Amino acid sequence: MLELTQVSKRYGSTAALAATDLMVPAGQTTVLIGPSGCGKSTLLRLVAGLVRSDSGSIRVGGTTVTPENLDVVRRRMGYVIQEGGLFPHLTVRRNATLMAEHLKWPAARIEQRLRTLTEMVRLSPELWPRYPLELSGGQRQRVSLMRALMLDPDLLLLDEPLGALDPMIRFELQRELKSIFDRLGKTVVLVTHDIAEAAFFGDRLVLMREGGIVQQGSLRQLAAQPAEPFVERFISAQREPVRLLNEVLG
C-alpha cells in the first residue's frame, strides 16, 4: 500500500530521516514509535507531501508520488494531527465537507457521508453548526477524523491523534478508533510515543531512533528478540506502560 525507498530528509546539519526503506502492508495498522525527535512526524509528513524528501521515492497504492500528482494522491489519504488542525473559521460541518464540496460532490451524497461519519465517530449532529473553538478537545479530534475520512481514503495517517487529550478521554477514544479501524479495514499509519498505545493499535510496530528504523515487528517479537540493546532499553524504560502491556499480552 505504502512503500518508501531510500527516502531521506535533512534539516541543516540534522538528519531528520536517514535513507530509509519501509513497506506498509494494506489493511493493517502500522505504528511508528520511538523517542522524541527520532523522525516519526518527519516520515509521516514526507508521505503526506508536506515536506519534500531529499532523496528516494514514495509509492502510494502503486503510484509514485510526484509534485504533479500530489494533490490527487492526497485525496486518497486522510491526515490527522495532534492539535487537530481544524479550520477555526468553519463550522464542524464545513470542516468535514470542505473537500467534498471542492470536488463538487452532489449535496445528497455529502449529507449521506456526513451522517455516516458522524455516527461512526459518535458525535452528535447537534454539533454540526458549532465552530471548533466551541468544542472539547475530544470532540475536535473526532471532527478531525471525520474530515480525514470524508473522501473514504485508502490510507490514514495519524500523528499522535490522541496526544493532547486527558487520560480518560484518551482511553475512550483509543477503543473507538481501534474499532473504527477494524471495521473499515483501512491501511493506517499511526504515530505515538506511548508503547502501550502502540501495542493496543498496532499489528506491526516500527521502532525508530535518530532518524532511522531500528526494528519492525509485533511487540511480542520486539520484546523477545530485540535487534539492539536500545530496543530493550526503550521497552523497559516505559515501566508503567509495561503493566498495561501485560494486560494486552494477557
Q: Where on the chain is the footprint of other proteins (CB under 8 A)? A: 45, 48-50, 70-75, 77, 79, 81, 83-91, 98-99, 102, 131-134, 147, 157
237 binds ligand ATP (CB under 6 A): no
Q: Are 224 and 237 in contact (CB under 8 A)?
A: no
Burial (CB < 10 A; 0-12, 13-18, 19+), residue 77, is: buried
What are residue 206's DSSP bridge partners? 32, 216
97 binds Mg ion (CB under 5 A): no
Which value, in Å, is the radius of gyration of the alpha carbons in the chain? 18
Q: Which is nearer to ligand ATP, 40 or 140 (CB)?
A: 40
Sign of the CA dihedral 135, 128, 155, 177? positive
Given the complex with other proteins, which of 135 and 177 has the nearer CB atom?
Answer: 135
Residue 66 or residue 179: which is nearer to other proteins going by CB? 66
User: Which residue has the CB atom at the shortest distance from Mg ion?
Assistant: 41
For residue 121, which phi and psi values (nearest 5 degrees)? -90, 5
- Comparing C-alpha atoms, which of 32, 28, 31, 103 is closest to residue 71? 103
Choice between 18 and 242, CB closer to ligand ATP: 18
What is the x/- site pattern for Mg ion, positions 28-57, by CB under 5 A? -------------x----------------
Binding residues for ligand ATP, per CB under 6 A? 11, 14, 16, 36-42, 193
